[in-house]
Structure 1
């Protein structure tokens, strides 16, 4: 398998963290990428119409994009470990993944506003709206954090990757002071070998 990858992409990190937990990391070759919200990477585009990171090429060369799809594909290949079976636990984990991905979607929209637009084109109201989404999601996760315990599944991995991205790109949020239960859980989970192995370089 091959993965179009960026060390700074939190969604690519989620895929690789899952691969580490599932014991598949040695079967994935990392491919460089130049994905951009405006200037798409033609190399990725040749394989998938969204030209996004992460995009996985399976052993037959078929392309899968979107971290949610790729993570579930890897989980299926490994016999299933990170996605709970049908029932309440599955919906909990999938909902946590959705909240974490929502944090990242909002954070990346702010990031793109700051890096892909000229200063004269930026909208403070737009960025404030995205930050409000991040904060409401963090508050909801803080309420649940004590219940995460030692779970390692698609929900907790997704949350940890989202929080790691906030630490990387949005230190000014100061989220650890505002959401102490979530911060305490993250400090513990960040020491997991899969998280250590996929930690991005310093920004």
Structure 2
């Protein structure tokens, strides 16, 4: 299989974290491409008509895209149990919360980096969404994050890593001691160290 990717993408990092946690690096070739919101790389377009990464090229069918689709596929293929049936709806909800954090954080980063005159009101509104989601995790989800490894934990870790990478000045840790402590522990995992964005 081939993973069409960019190492700076937090959606890609989520997939790469799963692959490394599963110990299956030898089965997934990472094909790094230079692609942007304005100019999608031909390899990306060949795998995903939306021009977005990650995309997974697999031998038995059409390419898969969207990090949630890819991680669900790999979990099923490798029987990892990262979507446990007994906690499925909680896992999916927390995964969706992490993806929502990423959607808002990436949108704000694009606004800051790609526009000649960034819309500060827009960026602040995106951060308010991020902050509310972080508060919800701090207030309601910490017991879940303390449980056995699942895709929700991987997703939250990828989201928090992106906040450090692109929004460090916002200091997401302030007022969230439990989530901050969890993130520090999770960051020590070899998979997290191996997938640090190069910048």
Question: TM-score, normalised on structure 2?
Answer: 0.94
Counterpart residue number, 1:107 = 105
Q: Which runs of 5+ in 1 are unaligned?
A: none
Matches within 5 A, 1:1-203: 1-60=1-60, 62-85=62-85, 87=86, 89-119=87-117, 122-147=118-143, 148-201=145-198, 203=199
Q: How many residues of Structure 1 are paired with residues of Structure 2 in the alignment?
A: 198
CA RMSD in angstroms comes to 1.4
Question: TM-score, normalised on structure 1?
Answer: 0.92
Q: CA deviation at 1:138?
A: 0.6
For the 8 Å contact 2:11–2:67, the answer to whether it is kept is: yes
For the residues of structure 1 that align with 2:140 and 2:24, how far apart are their CA atoms?
30
Q: CA deviation at 1:150?
A: 4.1
For the residues of structure 1 that align with 2:47 and 2:5, how far apart are their CA atoms?
14
Q: CA deviation at 1:42?
A: 2.0
Determine helix, strand or coil for the equivalent of 2:59. coil
Determine helix, strand or coil for the equivalent of 2:84. coil
Deviations 1:157-202 (A, max 9, x none): 100110011111111111112211100111111112222221222x
For the 8 Å contact 2:7–2:13, the answer to whether it is kept is: yes
For the residues of structure 2 that align with 1:169 and 1:10, how far apart are their CA atoms?
10
Query: Which of structure 1's runs of 4+ aligned residues deviate more than 6 A?
Result: none
